């Protein structure tokens, strides 16, 4: 059957409508649909890692279960589009360390949520507000630059210092992010250039930065002053290429060619400017006279004469050292004075020294692994290792009455405690079994580590009966642990990381006290109990 007469009439009538009026109707209909259902006309691509929240209960659950949360509040979906694109890229980079969420305050149920939490992004010029929540509560409004680099740095360490390029006074420093940018700058730049390789935690770098950035402003147009955080492990090749042994390392380039280093780390802005007007290579320090060549009362022994000397002298104290060793240098003056005093007496004994970096055979024979190592020989035979002898007075007194030294204090990992001392590959496997793990990355020589050890150990004992909680420790000076420490982002000692079933969650930046370490884990455990109680109620 064909169309009805009425249908034919309707078609004919529509064909008679002028084109302008027809399209006007379509546009009006589209606008009405957009008002009724705005989100259906938006094609915003949002990462699945960004959690969209509209319900107050879901929001509270998010804060209760996540410790590092950045929330984007928007007055509408459309104004959030560009910010969501940026956050979608960031979400992958901070996965496992931070959570990103979006609340559209202009959309139905979400509007009620925004009122409950008293956030109104419509009062902001751009209709957006970024708020950060830490450990279940509001922490701070994000007010750093709205850039990928700054946001990632903030989410990795919400309480850390801003990036150098975020300082408005450093606007004239050329900030380099990667090796490709560095190569490009060196290739295209004809002006004289200073490049500061630095680490964010470096104290000397921080003291130089104000002068450096002021010089960059004063010399703008004539010279280029650049900076690059070269500490991350991905820049190891660059560090090797430019012989970066410490921070800061400041290099001078002319037409992209490296000339020499700038080594005035306490320089003012004027000092830097004056140096650039007449750049000169650093004056080499006078070569240090080897200890063995200096005139003193210490006998300097070699692989060839060591055995004969200790046989001919019935009482000999020997210091095995390395020329570069700081502790050895500190001990040398006392050792020399003690040698002079003993030399003036008869039948007491003599002091000798061995450069273990040169005379390796004798050093290896006596198992010398650290510097300084002090050993006592009696009638040609090794009798004691005496690590407690460091000062002139103690050395002289001991040589008058040589006796067995007190037993060495056991290292932390040798003392019984509830702390899990993790080594190499067992690190991740051991933590996978624990719901909450607080791990201390340390170095035995680090004074801040030493002061934290008693409180950390006591905190571990508090939870010793809870099989789901662990306090772990990793000695980063051990060869097997160096890869682990690098992988876990350890840049200084001590570093405390929190893990959930072996997965990194956040850095611990609380107090390094027993109450701080215990309170942190207790808060996490209490949240677990609240969550479990709610699940039971739902069932």
Task: Please indicate whether residue 133 or residue 388 has the higher confidence score (pLDDT).
Answer: 133
Contacts 24+ apart (CB under 8 A), 299-306: 299/350, 299/351, 299/352, 299/353, 300/352, 300/353, 300/354, 300/355, 301/352, 301/353, 301/354, 301/359, 301/362, 302/354, 302/358, 302/359, 302/362, 303/359, 303/360, 303/361, 303/362, 306/354, 306/359, 306/362
Tell which residue, 289, 298, 394, has the closest CA to residue 353.
298
Taking only the tens place, the pLDDT of each residue in 314-337 is 999 999 999 988 889 999 999 999
pLDDT confidence bin for 285, thresholds 50/70/90: low
pLDDT of residue 266: 87
Tokens of 331: 């001990």
DSSP state, 372?
S
Task: Please indicate whether residue 484 or residue 160 has the higher confidence score (pLDDT).
Answer: 484
pLDDT of residue 17: 42
pLDDT of residue 123: 93
User: Is 421 a residue whose pLDDT tops 80?
Assistant: yes
Mean pLDDT, range 342-358, rounded to an integer: 92
User: Is 182 a residue whose pLDDT tops 70?
Assistant: yes
User: Is 145 a residue whose pLDDT tops 50?
Assistant: yes
pLDDT confidence bin for 57, thresholds 50/70/90: very high
Mean pLDDT, range 441-450, rounded to an integer: 88
pLDDT of residue 286: 66
pLDDT of residue 10: 43
pLDDT confidence bin for 532, thresholds 50/70/90: low
Taking only the tens place, the pLDDT of each residue in 62-78 is 998 898 999 999 999 99
Tell which residue, 420, 316, 315, 301, has the closest CA to residue 359.
301
pLDDT of residue 127: 95
Burial 74-96 (b: 16+ CB within 10 A, else e): bbbbbbbeebbeebbebbeebee
pLDDT confidence bin for 11, thresholds 50/70/90: very low
Mean pLDDT, range 399-426, rounded to an integer: 90
Residue identified by tokens 């770098």 is: 205
Q: Give the orientation angle of helix 203-218 with respect to helix 269-277, to 10 degrees.
A: 60
pTM: 0.47
pLDDT confidence bin for 5, thresholds 50/70/90: very low
Tell which residue, 276, 147, 168, 165, has the closest CA to residue 228.
165
Residues with a known catalytic role: 202, 205, 325, 328
Taking only the tens place, the pLDDT of each residue in 46-55 is 888 999 999 9
Q: What percent of the chain has pLDDT above 70?
A: 89
pLDDT confidence bin for 38, thresholds 50/70/90: very low
Query: In Å, what is the CA distance from 486 to each residue of 428, 482, 533?
Result: 14, 6, 39
- Helix-then-strand count for the chain, H and E: 18, 20
Label residue 502 left, alpha or beta by phi (over 0 means left) and psi (-120 to 50 means alpha).
left
pLDDT of residue 327: 87
Q: What percent of the chain has pLDDT above 90?
A: 65
Whether residue 494 has a cis bond before it, omega within 30° of 0: yes
User: Is 82 a residue whose pLDDT tops 50?
Assistant: yes
Q: Which of 96-100, 251-255, 408-412 has the lowest mean pLDDT?
A: 408-412
DSSP state, 73?
E
Taking only the tens place, the pLDDT of each residue in 460-515 is 999 999 999 999 999 998 888 988 998 888 888 899 999 999 999 899 988 899 99
Task: Please indicate whether residue 432 or residue 36 has the higher confidence score (pLDDT).
Answer: 432
Three-state DSSP at 164 gives helix
Residue 146 CA to residue 376 CA, distance in Å, equals 64
Residue 445 CA to residue 493 CA, distance in Å, equals 10
User: Is 439 a residue whose pLDDT tops 90?
Assistant: yes
pLDDT of residue 156: 87
pLDDT of residue 150: 92
Taking only the tens place, the pLDDT of each residue in 193-247 is 999 999 888 888 988 999 999 999 999 999 999 999 998 888 999 999 999 988 9
């Amino acid at each position: 059957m064909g169309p009805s007469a009425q249908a034919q009439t309707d078609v004919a009538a529509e064909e008679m409508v002028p084109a302008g009026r027809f399209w006007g109707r379509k546009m009006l209909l589209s606008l009405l649909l957009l008002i009724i259902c705005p989100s259906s006309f938006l094609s915003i691509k949002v990462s699945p890692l960004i959690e969209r929240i509209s319900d107050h209960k879901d929001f509270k659950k998010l804060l209760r279960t996540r410790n590092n949360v950045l929330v984007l509040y928007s007055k509408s979906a459309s104004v959030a589009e560009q910010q969501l694109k940026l956050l979608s890229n960031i979400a992958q980079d901070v996965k496992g360390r931070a959570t990103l969420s979006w609340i559209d305050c202009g959309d139905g149920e979400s509007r009620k949520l925004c009122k409950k939490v008293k956030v109104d992004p419509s009062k902001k010029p751009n209709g957006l507000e970024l708020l950060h929540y830490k450990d279940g509560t509001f922490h701070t409004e994000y007010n750093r630059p709205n850039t990928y680099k700054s946001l990632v740095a903030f989410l990795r360490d919400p309480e850390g210092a801003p990036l150098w390029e975020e300082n408005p006074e450093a606007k004239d420093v050329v900030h380099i992010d990667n090796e490709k940018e560095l190569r490009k700058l060196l290739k295209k730049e004809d002006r004289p250039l200073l490049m500061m390789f630095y680490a964010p935690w470096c104290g000397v770098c921080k003291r130089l930065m104000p002068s450096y950035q002021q010089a960059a402003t004063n010399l703008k147009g004539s010279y280029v002053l650049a900076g690059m955080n070269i500490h991350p492990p991905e820049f190891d090749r660059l560090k090797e290429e430019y012989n970066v042994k410490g921070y800061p390392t400041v290099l001078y380039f002319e037409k992209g060619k490296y000339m020499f280093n700038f080594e005035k780390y306490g320089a003012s802005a004027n000092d830097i400017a004056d140096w650039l007007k007449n750049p000169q290579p650093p004056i080499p320090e006078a070569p240090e006279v080897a200890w063995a060549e200096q005139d003193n009362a210490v006998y300097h022994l070699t692989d060839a004469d060591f055995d004969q000397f200790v046989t001919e002298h019935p009482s000999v104290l020997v210091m095995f050292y390395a020329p570069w060793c700081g502790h050895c240098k500190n001990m040398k003056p006392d050792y020399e004075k003690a040698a002079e005093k003993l030399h003036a007496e008869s039948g007491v004994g003599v002091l000798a020294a061995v450069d273990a970096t040169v005379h390796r055979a004798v050093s290896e024979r006596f198992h010398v692994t650290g510097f300084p190592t002090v050993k006592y020989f009696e009638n040609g035979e090794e009798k004691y290792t005496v690590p407690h002898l460091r000062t002139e007075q103690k050395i002289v007194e001991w040589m008058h009455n040589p006796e067995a030294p007190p037993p060495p204090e056991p290292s932390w990992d040798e003392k019984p405690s509830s702390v899990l001392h993790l080594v190499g590959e067992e690190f991740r496997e051991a933590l996978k079994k624990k719901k909450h793990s607080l791990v201390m990355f340390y170095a035995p020589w680090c004074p801040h580590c030493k002061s934290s050890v008693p409180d950390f150990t006591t905190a571990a004992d508090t939870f010793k009966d809870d099989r789901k909680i662990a306090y772990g420790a990793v000695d980063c000076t051990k060869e097997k642990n160096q890869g682990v420490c690098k992988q876990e982002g350890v840049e200084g000692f001590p570093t405390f990381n929190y893990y959930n079933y072996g997965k990194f969650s956040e850095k611990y930046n609380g107090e390094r006290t027993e109450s701080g370490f215990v309170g942190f884990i207790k808060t996490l455990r209490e949240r677990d109990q609240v969550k479990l109680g709610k699940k039971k109620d739902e069932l």
